[in-house]
């Protein structure tokens, strides 16, 4: 039979506390090692959200610009027909076509 003395009890208790302290320190070091990666993942998520938002803005702006370009073309065509009619006085067919295109454009908007 093994006889445990008070000195052995103190020694085993100190050993147990040392092991628990080591486990705590390893856990703390592991968390500190993962902290930069967690921060990087957080920043990456924020950047992905921002890119998605900017992509949506870009798509909307592109559609708006195309719509403005189409309107500009229709207006310039109408202005050209009006100038041609003003100069010649007999270009009525072109004026009617320009009016129809302008009305269609304005209705679609």
pLDDT digits (tens, 9 = 90+) for 40-98: 999 999 999 999 999 999 988 998 999 899 888 888 888 888 877 777 777 777 777 87
Mind listing the pLDDT tens digit for each residue in 30-45? 989 888 888 999 999 9
Annotated domain spans of the chain = 36-108
**CA–CA dist 30, 63 (Å, integer):** 50
* C-alpha–C-alpha distance, residues 108 and 71, integer Å: 11
Determine the 3-state secondary structure of 68 from DSSP: helix
Q: What angle do CA 70, 74, 77 make, to 5 degrees?
A: 135
């Amino acid at each position: 039979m093994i006889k445990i003395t008070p000195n052995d009890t103190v020694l085993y208790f100190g050993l147990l506390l040392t092991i628990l302290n080591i486990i705590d320190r390893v856990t703390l070091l592991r968390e500190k090692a993962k902290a930069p990666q967690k921060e990087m993942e957080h920043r990456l998520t924020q950047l992905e959200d921002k890119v998605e938002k900017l992509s949506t803005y870009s798509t909307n702006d592109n559609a708006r610009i195309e719509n403005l370009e189409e309107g500009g073309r229709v207006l310039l065509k109408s202005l050209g027909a009006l100038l041609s009619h003003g100069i010649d006085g007999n270009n009525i067919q072109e004026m009617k076509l320009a009016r129809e295109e302008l009305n269609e454009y304005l209705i679609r908007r």
